[in-house]
Structure 1
Amino acid sequence: MKRTVSKKRKVQQAQARKVYHAFSSWRFMFVSIVVASIAVLLISRLAYIQVIEPEYLTEEADKRSLRVTKSVTHRGNISDRNGEELAISVPAYAIWIDPKTVKEAYAFNDEQWQASAIENKRTGKLKYTKKKFFESKKWPALAEVLDIKLEDLVKIIERPNARFAYLKRQVNPPVVDYIKQLRLAGIANQLESHRYYPTGEINANIIGLTDLDAQGIEGIEKTYNNFLQGQNGKKRVRKDRLGNVIDQIEVVAEKKAAGNLALSIDQRIQAVAYSELKRAVKIHQATSGSLVVLDVHTGEIYAMANYPSFNPNDRSQYQPYKLRNRAITDTFEPGSTVKPLVVASALAYKKTDVDEVINTSPGWMNIGGRRVRDGKNLGEIDLAMILKKSSNIGVSKLALRLKPGQLQQTFADFGLGNDTGVGLIGESVGRLPIRHRWSDFELATMSFGYGITATTLQIAKAYAILGSGGKQYPLTILKTDNPGEGEQVIPRNIALEVVHMMEGVNEKGGTARKASIEGYRIAGKTGTSRKAEAGGYGDDYVSIFAGLAPASNPRFSIVVMINEPQGDRYYAGDVAAPVFSSVMQSALLLSHIRPDDEHTRYTLLDQLKDAQ
Structure 2
Amino acid sequence: MKAKVKANIRPELSPGRFKFLVWLLSFIFIVLVAKAASIQVISPDKLRHESDIRSVRTNELEVQRGLITDRYNDMLAVSVPMLALVADPQLIAQNDGFADVNRWQALAEVIGVPYAKIKHRIESNPKLRWLYLKRQLTPGVANYIRQLKLPGLLLSEESRRYYPAGETIAQLIGITNIDDQGIEGIERAYDQWLTGTSDKVDIRRNNTGEVVEILSEIKSGKPSKDLNLSIDLRIQSLAYQELKNATANLNATSASLVVLDVKTGEILAMANTPSFNPNVTSQRQPFRVRNRAISDTFEPGSTVKPFVIAAALEAGVLKPEEVIATSPGYMRLGGSYVRDGRDLGDLTVQQVLLKSSNVGTSKIAQRMPAQEILGTYYALGLGSFSGLQLNGEQDGLINERYRWSDFEKATLSFGYGFTVTTLQMARMYSVLANEGKMMPVTILKRAKVDGEVQLPEATQVLSKEVADKVLKMLVGITKPGGTALKAHIEGYPVAGKTGTSEKAVAGGYGNDYVASFVGVAPAHDPKLVIAVMINEPKGDDYHGGDAAAPVFAKVMAGALQMLNVEPVIEQQLQFVNLQERVR
Return the TM-score normalized by structure 1: 0.84
- Asked if the contact 1:71/1:255 (under 8 Å) is kept, the reply is no
2:85 paired with 1:95: yes
Q: Counterpart of 1:217 in 2: which secondary structure?
A: coil
The residue number in structure 2 matching 1:183 is 149
Contact 2:58 2:202 in 1 (8 A): yes
Which secondary structure state, in structure 2, belongs to the residue aligned with residue 302 of structure 1? Answer: strand
Relative to 1, partners in 2 of residues 1:380 and 1:532: Cα closer, same or farther, differing over 3 Å?
same
Q: Say whether residues 1:332 and 2:293 are aligned partners.
A: no
Report the alpha carbon displacement of residue 353 of structure 1 after superposing the two structures with TM.
Answer: 1.0
Q: Which has the larger radius of gyration?
A: 1
Q: d(CA) in 2 for partners of 1:220 and 1:256? A: 20
Cα pair distance change 1:321/1:162, threshold 3 Å: farther
What does 1:66-465 align with in structure 2 at a 5 Å threshold? 66-103=56-93, 105-106=95-96, 133-134=100-101, 136=102, 138-161=103-126, 163=128, 164-236=130-202, 248-249=215-216, 251-465=217-431
Q: What letter is aligned with 1:349? A: A
1:523 paired residue number: 495
* Distance across 2 between alignment mates of 1:375 and 1:449: 16
The within-5 A match list for 1:591-602 is 591-598=563-570, 600-601=572-573
The alpha-carbon deviation at position 403 of structure 1 amounts to 1.1
Residues 1:482 and 2:454 aligned together:
yes
Q: CA deviation at 1:62?
A: 5.0
CA contact (8 A) 1:467 1:496 kept: yes
What is the Cα deviation at residue 153 of structure 1?
A: 3.0
How far is 1:150 from its partner?
Answer: 3.6
Alpha-carbon contact 2:97-2:151 (below 8 Å) kept: no
Q: CA deviation at 1:597?
A: 2.0
1:575 has 2:547 as partner: yes
CA deviations over 1:517-563 (Å, ceiling 9, x no partner): 11110011111101111111111111111111111111111111011
- Deviation larger for 96-105 or 468-477: 96-105
The equivalent residue for 1:472 is 438
1:607, CA displacement in angstroms?
8.2
Q: How far is the alpha carbon of 1:172 from its aligned partner?
A: 1.1
Q: Which moved more, 1:345-354 or 1:175-184?
A: 175-184
What TM-score do you get using the length of structure 2 for normalisation? 0.88
**Matched residue, 2:11:** none
Aligned-pair identity in percent equals 48
C-alpha distance in 2 between matches for 1:494 and 1:607? 19
What is the number of equivalent residue pairs in this alignment?
A: 550
Rounded to whole Å, the distance in 2 between the matches of 1:496 and 1:192 is 55
RMSD: 3.0
What SS does the corresponding residue of 1:210 show, helix, strand or coil? coil
Aligned pair in 2 of structure 1 residues 239, 340: CA closer, same or farther (>3 Å)? same
Tell me which residue corresponds to 1:10.
none
CA distance in 2, matches of 1:476, 1:142: 49
Quote the offset at 1:148 in angstroms.
2.6
Counterpart of 1:585 in 2: which secondary structure? helix
Are the structure 2 counterparts of residues 317 and 255 from structure 1 closer, same or farther at C-alpha, using a change threshold of 3 Å? same
SS of 1:87's partner is strand
Distance 2:233 2:270 in 1: 10
Q: Deviations over 1:3-61 (max 9, x none)?
A: xxxxxxxxxxxxx9xx99xx9xxxxxxx9xxx9xx99xx99x979x97xx997566456
1:493 and 1:608 in contact (8 A); partners too: no
Q: Deviations over 1:275-298 (max 9, x none)?
A: 111111111111111000000111
Partner Cα separation in structure 1 for residue 431 and residue 352 of structure 2: 21
Mark the CA change 1:592 to 1:107 in structure 2 (over 3 Å): closer, same or farther: closer
Task: State the alpha-carbon separation in 2 of the partners of residues 187 and 326 from structure 1.
Answer: 45
CA gap 1:392/1:307 in 2 versus in 1, 3 angstroms: same
Distance 1:169 1:306 in 2: 31
Query: In structure 2, what is the equivalent of residue 564 of structure 1?
Result: 536
Of 520, 536, 548, the residue aligned with 2:520 is: 548
Q: Secondary structure at the match of 2:183?
A: strand
Change in CA separation of 1:395 and 1:191 when aligned onto 2, cut-off 3 Å: same
Post-superposition CA distance 1:113-156 (Å, at most 9, x none): xxxxxxxxxxxxxxxxxxx644x2x4343223222334433433
One-letter amino acid matched to 1:446: L
Q: Determine if contact 1:92/1:194 at 8 Å carries over to the other structure.
A: yes
**CA 1:64–1:183: 2 relative to 1, 3 Å:** closer
Question: CA distance change for structure 1 residues 549 and 67 in 2, over 3 Å: closer, same or farther?
Answer: same
8 Å Cα contact 2:152-2:207 kept in structure 1: no
Q: Is the 8 A contact 1:496 1:608 kept in 2?
A: no
Could you tell me which amino acid in structure 2 is paired with residue 71 of structure 1?
L
CA–CA distance in structure 2, aligned partners of residues 195 and 485 of structure 1: 36
Runs of 5+ in structure 2 lacking a partner?
1-14, 447-452
Aligned partner of 2:58: which letter? Answer: V
Q: Call closer, same or farther: CA 1:377–1:464 in 2, change over 3 Å.
A: same
**Judging changes above 3 Å, is the alpha-carbon distance between structure 1 residues 344 and 244 closer, same or farther for their aligned structure 2 residues?**
closer
Cα deviation, 1:450-470, whole Å, max 9, x if unaligned, reads 001000000000001111111
Seen in structure 2, the aligned counterparts of structure 1 residues 486 and 186 have a Cα distance that, compared at 3 Å, is same
Question: C-alpha separation between the residues in 1 aligned to 2:145 and 2:206?
Answer: 27
Amino acid aligned to 2:322: E
Letter in 1 for 2:504: A
Say whether residues 1:500 and 2:479 are aligned partners. no
